Chain A
């Protein structure tokens, strides 16, 4: 085998999460009452547009979660594998990863950002901006060829994006038309006028805008460093894309880890009351009375000491950084479960007095069964809203923690480490701004779409809004108006 799969701890959890979400989706699809709030989410234009953007991030994050070690060479029948751990995303972005320059270069530049001694034709030495090893290396005369080449590549990127968009749109129209028994043309008109129940026009517009940006970026990144290079000459676009996984892992795994504790303890406290309640309340009041950053800092410091004094536990650098990321998630989870736990306790207190719970008690149903069958399903909407709302906060927290020095491992690429190094470059003369700018753009996009999606989910699950929408019976996916146009 030319590669050796390297299974990192966070990878396992990421795929576990995907599996759990898959099962959840399958279960929800078969239960109309669970599906109804999700339909309301699907009918929100901003929510669906945000989901489109998020899915782009998720695809990159998932691609970046298959890790392996490539084989170096055969040494007498025994394979030797590289110490370097790569991911499928690295393989896809191979040109971005491997084409390193010497040091800083500006976005789309053909020359380095700093002057260096170069040998002139006559054998004399002079200080000039040397050509980049890879960025624009195919140009004969950068001064004359650069602008037309960039323009040509941008246009071809836009053209490819337009084609891709048209194909996707046609596919969508065909699917919708097939599902609702009308012709493709009518489906297109309904989408365009915003007459579909699911706001497909918002999705398509978002998709179009994203492709419009991604197409030229991809086309240009074949031959240039679109966002420039950093101090050690690494492509900034590659770093930004690698940061996505770190952000997603922190945002999702933290809640995945804390969820069992919050659920179990919160419901137990509200359901059993008495000394159980006192004990659990004491635990979460104690934990929540320590300011979050300080508790995280203290825990991470202690974890650092542990990792430093036990270096033999980790085979590769990546495994070490990964374990640190996992610990960070656990620590963030421990500090953030208290809020959800308190909410769940309150809800369980309320639910245990309901008639149907009392009926279950009267029938002699066991506590465990009452909790799993009757209480758990009725608090799930709180859990879901909390999980989705927490996500963006965690992504932002990662950046701050990495800045303080208690975040992810310095060798792990993340938005926090990028900002941290870029901060010093702002004071440099001439200023290096592109690392910061690209981290800013991608982070804003990720957090903004997460926030918008979280709002849509909250609105969808909020019982106070349900009365305003028509009953869930007529949610065939398309409004009756669409039938008229057909």
Chain B
């Protein structure tokens, strides 16, 4: 595009020598203005992303204690990482969590979006209700759930006990699967509303004319849903998926607060392991290598999902 612009401008310049200086100045000014406009963002990205990223890369090739001298060790950290049962185990936990939470969030958000997309008062009420947990901080929500499932003071165990379902309030966080379920429950409660709103925005951007045309052609609700809503929603779906999967693969806060990695380290996620490597064991170089590996996986997963967006925009 810009090449063509330049060619057109060059032809113009050649044709009208007098306008030459003015045209160039105008273009330069525009370029300069553009540069000035992106400069703050560029500076921020450089300082807060590219520089730390470069530093992270450099650290990952070193044995780097928190205090004291560091030492270049080449790829040793990476070689250690691919055989580290602790890290690989935490990657497994992270993948398991992502595989559980992603479809759960998406399906629930989809159902809620379909149910509450109307303009009537009831729809608005329930939409607000489902969105309410979204502004709650992740840490606050985590502590809330820790309290809810506490066997001594939490209401959930008490309610189950009063209902006669259990004899004693269960200790949810004492076993892996229930502990994972508590985290999943919290995230579902907190995040579904956001995905619902995003999907709803996507649904509402589909022109009514399409639905009307299909109705005239005799398509029922299901057929319209399957052949109009779903295909046109693909870019939004892909966007929601990228956000959701990236967020789940980077899960840390909710596990740090609710399960503390327990019981028996069975809910340590990848980022949790990176945190512990760097700030409990003080092996910053090894922690940096684990961060780079996690980033590569995340980039690959996101790339695949972005390919989905491109395909779907081409289709539409």
**Does chain A bind chain B?**
no
Give residues in B with beta carbon < 8 Å to A.
none
Give residues in A with beta carbon < 8 Å to B.
none
